[in-house]
C-alpha cells in the first residue's frame, strides 16, 4: 500500500498517460484510419434548405442530437476529473454520448471514484462506464461491473480489449485466456448493455462475430490511425526493453475503415461505433456512410478539455457543422439517408 498522500502506481500511470497523450507524439507513424481512401460524390443541387438537416439518432435506445461519442480516455486523477467535468458539461449541452476512461482505479481506490462521477452534470446523455476486459481474469466480476455502472449511473458498460497495450506496458496484465466466456457471463447478467471496444488496434469481423455471439450489445471498432497506445507505453517506459517493444509495434493494427466495412458486411444490425483516427466531422460522416452508427473521438477532445470548456464547445460546433455540410452537399437530409445514398466512393 502507498504511504498516505502519495499517489499509487495506478494513479501515476493514469497521470503519465495523460501527460504523454497531451505532450508527446503518440499518433500512428504510417498506418492511417483508411478513411482518406474514400470521398463523397458532391451534389450541386441538393434540393434542401440547411434548416432541413437533422443529425439526431438513437443508440442503445438513447436519443442523441448528433452521432458523436466523446470517447473513453481518462479518470482517476485531479486533472482527469477536470477533463471529465468539462467534457460532460458540453456533452449535455449538445446531446452527445460520452465514455469515461478505465474505472479500475475506482475499485482499487474508492476515494478516487468521484473523479468519474459526472452524471449530475449530464443527466440526459448516453453515458458509458468502462473496464478493461482482462480485469475479469484478475479478480473483477459481476459485482465490480455493477459497482462501476452504479457509480457512474451509466447506460452501458464498455469492456475494452487491449492485448497489445497490456503486453508492452510495464507491469501490464496479459492473461487473456478464457476471457470470452467471462465476457459472455457479464453480458448475460449485467442489467445494462455491454459494449466491446478495442483501444486503437481494431476489431476484425471474426472477433466481432465471437463477441456478438457472446452477447455484447454493440461494438466500438477503435481501429488504427489515431492514438497508438503502444507508442504511449513506449514513451513512458522506464526500461529499454519496453521502450523498444512499444516502438516496434507502434503501427500495429487494423485501420478503422476496414473494421467498419468488414463488420458491417458480416452483421447488418449490430450497433457500431467508429473510432480510431477520426479527426473531424468529415471523417465522422465517412464512418457513418460506411456503416457505423456513431463516431468517436478521444484525443482531440482530451486536448480541448485540457485547454478549457470553451475549447471543447468550439470543437463540437465544428464537428456538427462539418457533419451538416456533408449531408447538405450530398443531398441527404439525415443520417439514415446518408447511409443509404451510396454517396461515398473509394478514391
User: Which tens digit of pLDDT belongs to each residue from 79-90?
Assistant: 889 999 999 999
Contacts of 248 (CB under 8 A, 6+ apart): none
How far apart are alpha carbons 193 and 105 in whole angstroms? Answer: 22
Query: Tell me: the pLDDT tens digits for 273-316?
Result: 999 999 999 999 999 999 999 999 999 999 999 999 999 999 99
Which residues participate in the annotated binding site for FMN? 71-74, 102, 130, 197, 227, 277-279, 298-299
- Give residue 3's pLDDT: 42
**Which DSSP state fits 24?**
S
Closest to 9 in 3D by CA, of 176, 17, 26: 17
- Which positions ≥6 away from 89 have C-beta within 8 Å? 121, 122, 309, 312
The confidence band for 4, taking pLDDT boundaries of 50, 70 and 90, is very low
Measured distance CA(112)–CA(13) in Å, rounded: 14
The counts of H helices and E strands in the chain are 14, 12
Strand partners, 334: 54
DSSP string for 141-156: -HHHHHHHHHHHT-SE
Q: Domains plus CATH for the chain?
A: 13-346 (3.20.20.70)
Mean pLDDT value of segment 12-19: 82
Task: Give pLDDT tens digits for 22-54.
Answer: 888 999 999 999 999 999 999 999 999 999 999
Q: How far is CA 82 from CA 122, 125, 191, in A?
A: 14, 18, 29
Question: According to the model, what pLDDT value does residue 238 have?
Answer: 84
Asked if 160 contacts 197 with a C-beta cutoff of 8 angstroms, the reply is yes
Binding residues for substrate: 13-14, 102-104, 165
Query: How far is 228 from 225, CA to CA, in rounded Å?
Result: 8
What's the pLDDT at 8?
A: 76
CA distances in angstroms from 106 to 8, 113, 130, 135, listed in the order given:
12, 5, 11, 13
With pLDDT > 70 as the criterion, what percentage of the chain qualifies?
A: 98
Rounded CA-CA distance 55/62 in Å is 14
Average per-residue pLDDT in the chain?
95
On the question of pLDDT at 10 being above 80, the answer is no
Confidence of residue 190 (pLDDT cuts 50, 70, 90): very high
For residue 5, what pLDDT is reported? Answer: 55
- Residue 100: φ, ψ to 5°: -90, 170
- pLDDT of 76 > 80? The answer is no
Given a cut of 90, whether residue 78 has pLDDT beyond it is no
Q: What is the pLDDT of residues 93-126, one digit of tens each?
A: 999 999 999 999 999 999 999 999 999 999 999 9
> CB within 8 A of 116, min separation 6: which ones?
75, 76, 81, 84, 100, 103, 106, 151, 152
Annotated binding site for Mg(2+): 166
List pLDDT tens digits, range 239-272. Answer: 899 999 999 999 999 999 999 999 999 999 999 9
Residue 6 confidence (pLDDT) above 50: yes
Q: What is the DSSP string of 33-79?
A: -SGGGEEEPP-S-----GGG-B--EEETTEEESSSEEE-----SSHH
Feature table: binding site = 13-14, 71-74, 102-104, 130, 165-166, 197, 227, 277-279, 298-299
User: Residue 63: its pLDDT value, please?
Assistant: 98
User: Pairing mode, if any, of strands 194-197 and 218-220?
Assistant: parallel
Q: Three cell numbers at 240?
A: 529499454
User: Residue 22 corresponds to which cell in the numbers above?
Assistant: 497531451
Q: Given a cut of 60, is residue 197 above it in pLDDT?
A: yes
Query: Which pLDDT band holds residue 73 (cuts at 50, 70, 90)?
Result: confident
Give me 214's grid cell: 457472446
Could you give the count of Cα atoms lying within 13 Å of 231 in the half-sphere of its Cβ?
Answer: 23
Confidence of residue 206 (pLDDT cuts 50, 70, 90): very high
Closest to 268 measured CA to CA, from 193, 192, 340, 201: 340
DSSP 8-state secondary structure symbol assigned to residue 198: -
Amino acid at each position: 500500500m502507498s504511504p498516505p498522500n502519495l499517489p499509487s502506481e495506478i494513479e501515476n500511470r493514469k497521470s503519465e498517460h495523460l501527460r504523454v497523450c497531451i505532450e508527446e507524439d503518440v499518433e500512428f507513424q504510417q498506418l492511417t484510419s483508411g478513411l482518406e481512401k474514400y470521398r463523397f460524390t458532391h451534389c450541386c443541387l441538393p434540393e434542401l434548405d440547411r434548416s432541413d438537416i437533422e443529425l439526431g439518432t438513437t443508440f442503445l435506445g438513447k436519443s442523441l442530437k448528433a452521432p458523436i461519442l466523446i470517447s473513453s480516455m481518462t479518470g482517476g486523477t485531479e486533472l482527469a476529473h477536470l477533463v471529465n467535468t468539462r467534457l460532460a458539461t458540453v456533452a449535455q449541452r449538445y446531446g452527445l454520448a460520452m465514455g469515461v476512461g478505465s474505472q479500475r482505479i475506482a475499485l482499487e481506490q474508492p476515494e478516487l471514484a468521484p473523479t468519474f462521477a459526472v452524471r449530475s452534470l449530464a443527466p440526459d446523455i448516453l453515458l458509458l462506464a468502462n473496464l478493461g476486459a482482462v480485469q475479469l481474469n484478475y479478480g473483477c466480476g459481476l459485482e465490480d461491473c455493477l459497482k462501476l455502472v452504479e457509480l457512474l449511473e451509466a447506460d452501458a458498460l464498455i469492456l475494452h480489449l487491449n492485448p497489445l497495450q497490456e503486453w508492452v506496458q510495464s507491469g501490464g496484465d496479459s492473461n487473456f485466456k478464457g476471457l470470452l466466456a467471462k465476457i459472455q457471463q457479464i453480458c448475460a447478467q449485467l442489467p445494462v448493455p455491454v459494449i466491446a471496444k478495442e483501444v486503437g488496434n481494431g476489431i476484425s469481423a471474426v472477433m466481432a462475430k465471437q463477441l456478438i455471439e457472446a452477447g455484447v450489445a454493440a461494438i466500438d471498432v477503435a481501429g488504427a490511425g489515431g492514438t497508438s497506445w503502444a507508442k504511449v507505453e513506449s514513451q513512458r517506459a522506464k526500461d529499454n526493453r519496453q521502450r523498444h517493444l512499444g516502438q516496434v509495434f507502434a503501427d500495429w493494427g487494423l485501420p478503422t475503415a476496414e473494421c467498419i466495412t468488414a463488420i458491417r458486411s458480416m452483421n447488418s444490425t449490430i450497433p457500431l461505433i467508429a473510432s480510431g483516427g477520426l479527426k473531424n466531422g468529415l471523417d465522422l460522416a465517412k464512418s457513418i456512410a460506411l456503416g457505423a452508427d456513431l463516431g468517436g473521438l478521444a484525443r482531440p477532445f482530451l486536448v480541448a478539455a485540457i485547454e478549457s470548456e470553451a475549447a471543447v464547445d468550439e470543437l463540437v460546433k465544428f464537428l456538427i457543422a462539418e457533419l451538416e455540410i456533408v449531408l447538405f452537399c450530398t443531398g441527404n437530409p439525415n443520417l439514415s439517408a446518408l447511409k443509404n445514398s451510396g454517396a461515398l466512393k473509394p478514391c
